[in-house]
Structure 1
């Protein structure tokens, strides 16, 4: 099974993980594993408790296809520094690195956003927190999510776009099917069906 690692820190943003984790974990050949500082229950902003599969030390011994950094309230704490080695492992093995919301600020603080197009919640905040380690302001774009090679970044409201870019990067299914999946949740059930009918040239549209 191909593993996709989700980094969850205390008070993680559960909604940012839900769509992509559920889709990946239902695909044949893929499995989602959670990673945190310790193998003790961590809590989401919504009150869910999660018992991580791996510590960061254990995860560094694994092979994985993608490292997904979920946003939350702990990315500016000392606990986030423990993620550094795992990000380096992901880079070494050519895995997809995907970060959303405040996890993008963390990537900026370790210099990973300097040479590729990227986004975050706000450029000024990214610059203020990351400081001298961040020199990529000219690469910053104001979009929901963006993928360049194996790097994916998204702002905190872009969880569906974030999920779509991860699915595309991992090539889990044909691009058309991924777009259909995205539209289903982005547009809503009925609008997505109407769009499919329009695309198919069907006249029976209300």
Structure 2
């Protein structure tokens, strides 16, 4: 069974991966699991409390298909957790690594964006933390998929969902319909 793990932090942006996890679990029958830094419950920016399945240290890249880094304000602070090891190990295992909004900063810190096309909330959102991928920054308002790396600004949860599913080999007419359905409000009238 395909399994994705979403990493949540205190104050995570609960709307950013909601469509992804709901579509994965309900439509595609993908196992959706959640991890926090220490395996303890976290509260979202909107007040939703989640008790995770595991701690980040318990993620086994050989037993999953994707790791998703949910955005949240903590990623742009000195309190940002270091999850580089699990992100690099997941990527090295040939699995999908994805980040949305400030969650992209964790991918930048891990070095995963140094050689692939990517986007984020803006180039200024990727601070000087060892990030060397400036030449590959696209500034796309939609998610960018390059190999098994997916990035998106916080304003693109629909295309982020689509890019993650595509990275898992699930791109088909059903996905195109689903993307059109949830992005309909953004089409020209």
Q: After the TM superposition, which parts of structure 1 deviate over 2 Å for at least 4 consecutive aligned residues?
A: 76-79
Cα distance in 1 for residues equivalent to 2:26 and 2:12: 22
Q: CA deviation at 1:85?
A: 2.3
Size of the aligned set, in residue pairs, is 184
- 3-state secondary structure, aligned to 1:57: helix
- 3-state secondary structure, aligned to 1:183: helix
Per the normalisation by structure 1, the TM-score is 0.83
Cα distance in 2 for residues equivalent to 1:7 and 1:14: 11
Q: CA deviation at 1:80?
A: 1.6
Q: Root-mean-square deviation (CA), in Å?
A: 1.7
Deviations 1:52-72, CA, capped at 9 Å, x for gaps: 101112213761001111100
Greater radius of gyration (CA) = 1
Cα distance in 2 for residues equivalent to 1:179 and 1:25: 17
Q: Which has the higher helix share?
A: 1
Per the alignment, residue 98 of structure 2 pairs with: 98
Gap regions ≥5 residues in structure 1: 192-206
Per the alignment, residue 173 of structure 2 pairs with: 176
CA contact (8 A) 1:66 1:97 kept: yes
Q: CA deviation at 1:2?
A: 2.1
CA contact (8 A) 1:60 1:85 kept: no
CA contact (8 A) 1:105 1:130 kept: no
Deviations 1:24-49, CA, capped at 9 Å, x for gaps: 01145511000111232101011000
Gap regions ≥5 residues in structure 2: none
